[in-house]
Amino acid sequence: MMALTMPIAQCAHACALASAAATSGTSSAVVSRSGGSVILNAVGILSSQHKLRSSSWTGLRPGAGVSQLSKTDGIHVCREVLETHGLVRAAAVDQSSVTTGAPPPPPAAPIKQESDVRISQVAKDTMTIRGRCMDRLKYEVEYGLKRGTTNNSYVIKGTNSTALIDIMDQSFAEAFTKTLETAFDLSSIKYLVLGHFSPKRVESLKILLQALEKKGTSIEIYCSNPAAQLLTKLLASDTLEKVYKLKTVRAGDVLDLGGHELQFILTPTPRWPDGMCSYDPSTQLLFSQKLFSAHVCEENDYDIGGVDVYGEDWRFYFECMLASSPKQTKAALEKLDIVAQYSKPSYKDRKGVDVVKEDMKFIFSTVLSAFNLPISKGMLAGSLGDKLVTAAICPLHGPIVRSSLTELVREYGVWTYEKLKQSEEATVAVIYASAYGNTTALAQAISRGISKAGVGVDTLNVEICSTEELVASLQRCSGFVIGSPTLGGHMPTPIQNALGVILCDEYAKKLPCGVFGSFGWSGEAVDMIEQRLKDCDFNLAFPTIRCKFKPTEATLQVCEESGTDLAQAIRKLKLKKRSEAAPKFTVASNVEQAVGRVVGSLCVLTARSGDAESAMLASWVSQASFVPPGLTIAVAKDRAVEGLVLVGARFVVNVLGQNKSNAVAKQLLKPFLPGENRMEGLETTVASNGGLILKDAISWMECTVQSRMETGDHWVLYAVVDSGKLEDDTTLTAVHYRKTGARY
């Protein structure tokens, strides 16, 4: 079929065209009636042979083909799939043109979101336009802290022309353009710089281009090659001719606005192959696109409060989005050799004249910055080298980084080094392609589960990586997972090619692996991959993950736990090999024996977020404060419940009693499949915060996480007790005794 030879994004776009044509009745989609049936066919994406597993439309039996749909149902099936993926906006269907078929189900009520778009000044001639949303807004794992988010764009006014840097996603599409029109003369904006572009931003770009067309003006778009390819696929060709020109940026290119000369730095990663940063020497602002971002929404535009306020958000975003590609992140950081505008002079390994040079560098940088004069690379007689003297980092999401610039850049380096070190011990290759972003979301969640278990991740987006890169990754990894969308009932061509490489690799057959994927129809691609791996005797480490439409929190939890299970299996295998080479009998050290005598009460922690829930047996629990009453709880990084006890999360601590803990402990200590209900078979009631209260608990407490501290292989939570109750005042607390501090 044609779908097999088309790029994934283009296939998705063809589906959108089919849906729009079906709704409007144009000839882009062929609609023929025969015996009350309709066949929707758009460049091979939808066909009469395409099968559906289930449907909510009246009269459509499970397993029916598209050819059995009425015209009404055919249109709504097509549109619902596309609206779910965010490729088209919901539109009413003219029922007068439909002769038969049951009416579609009523549309779901829109989710109310507290959001706004506002403008503020960042530096001379530079403004920021920030779309602010206090709600979670998205389903992806990186929004797990539920602190809202911002979409940031920037406007730079030069003496010759004005440039707009980045556009907001579809959640702010109309408000974004209206705000631009109110604050600026659109005809004066001659350039649009896209540091990142995705299908979720198409709607905003279309509305902006329509506004420009009404004013009879055009715009030149500067972007990387991957972004340019996506633009040409998602926008009509006549729009390219009338409204905008496309400039594909190469390394070292600049854009002179008059007084502001933007320097472009390509920073691709598997997650964002189109990544491109921009640097303005005049204001010393670095526009970092996704790098140094955070999903958090506060009243402040800047990082007021620094690491104490935003540290958790920056770290969580890094873990979700960049930890799975440390090599590419390291390469990007090396290109962005950032030094703070007012950095103190460094005297390390310097003597005599070199000390004076460091002082002069600091003084010169400070004076030029005070007068808003540019500091070009290497202008201080080589003392700055290729460093970017930066007054502030302007990311795509979260606060503008100014007061915490040095700390955040340093932490990025530390986090990246830690992930690279993990990769030296063991690595899992995460191989995938994505059409709408849903498969990418699954890959991110699996990667986070692998990473938090202490195993490195090598992310491979097969749309952009070469066969040689894939082969090299398979040769050095300790396991792999492969994920795919389903397009036209098939795997996309890049996944077919990748699967062929895997099946021919004898070493890969010895590795534990997994399969995942998303689909809008029947998900044949996932089934095909799973079956072919089984036929070749590959070792599937976890049940295949199938996601219809967008993943829910429960689906992402299954993905994360699956990644953790795979990583733990790899670590156990390596530990077994090391133990076989070591002496058979070892005695715990004095320190381990001493630490093992520290005892704790035996408790059960239960937590829930949306449709995701989990529980764990905990013994490292202690009271931490009188006013307010607070607890500390240690949670291993690879625990399934870890992702549900982030800052702000609510949970329940159930205290177990002596002679009442055996049944509960036996239940919670057994192995579980990813996403399996850990409390099944135990009598519970639901607490007011959503957690579960055990009937056999002698007391329980509803708690809220106030802060988390990283302590080696655990997170220590400090939680305030919101409410609680003593259920049994005659039974003593169960205590967990150990002989060594090296294990539970």
Compute the distance between CA of residue 233 and CA of residue 226 in angstroms, rounded to an integer.
11
The predicted model gives 268-281 an average pLDDT of 92
Please say whether the dihedral angle defined by the alpha carbons of residues 290, 292, 296 and 302, taken in this order, is positive or negative.
negative
The predicted model gives 169-175 an average pLDDT of 89
**Amino acid at site 650:** R
Compute the distance between CA of residue 222 and CA of residue 200 in angstroms, rounded to an integer.
18
Residue 20 has pLDDT above 80, yes or no: no
Map out the domains of the chain as residue ranges: 2-97, 115-340, 426-580, 590-736
Tokens of 636: 């291993």
Classify strands 254-256 and 261-266 as parallel, antiparallel or unpaired: antiparallel
Q: Quick one: pLDDT band at residue 87, thresholds 50, 70, 90?
A: very low
- The phi and psi torsions of 623 (rounded to 5 degrees) equal -70, 140
Helix (H) or strand (E) holding 126: strand 126-133
For residue 316, the model assigns a pLDDT of 92
Structure confidence by residue, pLDDT tens digits, 470-521: 999 999 999 999 999 998 888 999 999 999 999 999 999 999 999 999 998 7
The predicted model gives 715-744 an average pLDDT of 93
Tokens of 334: 């090396």
Compute the distance between CA of residue 272 and CA of residue 290 in angstroms, rounded to an integer.
8
Helix (H) or strand (E) holding 429: strand 427-432
Residue 216 has pLDDT above 80, yes or no: yes
Structure confidence by residue, pLDDT tens digits, 664-678: 999 999 999 999 999
For residue 582, the model assigns a pLDDT of 57
Count of H-run helices and E-run strands, the chain: 17, 33
Q: Indicate the angle between helix axes 326-335 and 405-425, nearest 10 degrees.
A: 140
Residue 721 has pLDDT above 60, yes or no: yes
| Mean pLDDT over the full length of the chain | 80
Sheet of strand 254-256: strand arrangement: 254-256, 261-266, 276-280, 285-289, 392-395
Dihedral of the CA atoms 556, 560, 565, 567 (nearest 10)? 150
**Amino acid at site 348:** K
For residue 144, the model assigns a pLDDT of 78
For residue 425, the model assigns a pLDDT of 86
Q: State how far the alpha carbon of 183 is from the alpha carbons of 127, 189, 283, 619, 740, in Å.
A: 10, 12, 21, 58, 66
User: Count of alpha carbons within 13 Å of 436, Cβ hemisphere only?
Assistant: 26
For residue 384, the model assigns a pLDDT of 45
For residue 575, the model assigns a pLDDT of 77
Q: Long-range contacts for 114-119 (Cβ within 8 Å, ≥24 apart)?
A: 115/171, 115/172, 115/175, 116/175, 117/168, 117/172, 117/175, 117/176, 117/178, 117/179, 118/179, 119/179, 119/183
Please say whether the dihedral angle defined by the alpha carbons of residues 210, 212, 218 and 223, taken in this order, is positive or negative.
negative
The predicted model gives 444-455 an average pLDDT of 93
For residue 312, give every residue at least 6 positions away whose Cβ sits within 8 Å of its Cβ, in sequence order, or none: 145, 646, 647, 708
Structure confidence by residue, pLDDT tens digits, 515-570: 999 998 778 999 999 999 999 999 999 999 999 888 999 999 999 999 999 999 99
Which residues on adjacent β-strands are paired with residue 280?
285
Specify the 3-state DSSP secondary structure of 519.
strand
Domain 426-580 fold is Rossmann fold (3.40.50)
For residue 269, give every residue at least 6 positions away whose Cβ sits within 8 Å of its Cβ, in sequence order, or none: 275, 322, 325, 328, 329, 332, 459
Q: Quick one: pLDDT band at residue 243, thresholds 50, 70, 90?
A: confident
Compute the distance between CA of residue 163 and CA of residue 157 in angstroms, rounded to an integer.
7
> Which DSSP symbol is given to 69?
S
The CATH-assigned architecture of domain 590-736 is Roll (2.30)
**For residues 74 and 300, which has the higher predicted lDDT (pLDDT)?**
300
Domain 115-340 fold is Metallo-beta-lactamase; Chain A (3.60.15)
- Residues 27, 33, 39: CA angle, nearest 5 degrees: 65
Please, are residues 142 and 320 in contact by the beta-carbon 8 Å criterion? yes
Structure confidence by residue, pLDDT tens digits, 394-425: 999 999 999 999 999 999 999 999 999 988 88
Q: Is 402 left (phi over 0), alpha (psi -120 to 50) or beta?
A: alpha
For residue 345, the model assigns a pLDDT of 53
For residue 27, the model assigns a pLDDT of 34
Q: Using omega within 30 degrees of 0 as the cis cutoff, is the peptide bond preceding 226 cis? A: no
Structure confidence by residue, pLDDT tens digits, 26-54: 333 333 323 332 223 333 333 333 333 33
Q: Indicate the angle between helix axes 306-321 and 405-425, nearest 10 degrees.
A: 30
| CA neighbor of 257 nearest in space, from 181, 212, 191 | 191
Compute the distance between CA of residue 709 and CA of residue 704 in angstroms, rounded to an integer.
15
The predicted model gives 573-580 an average pLDDT of 74
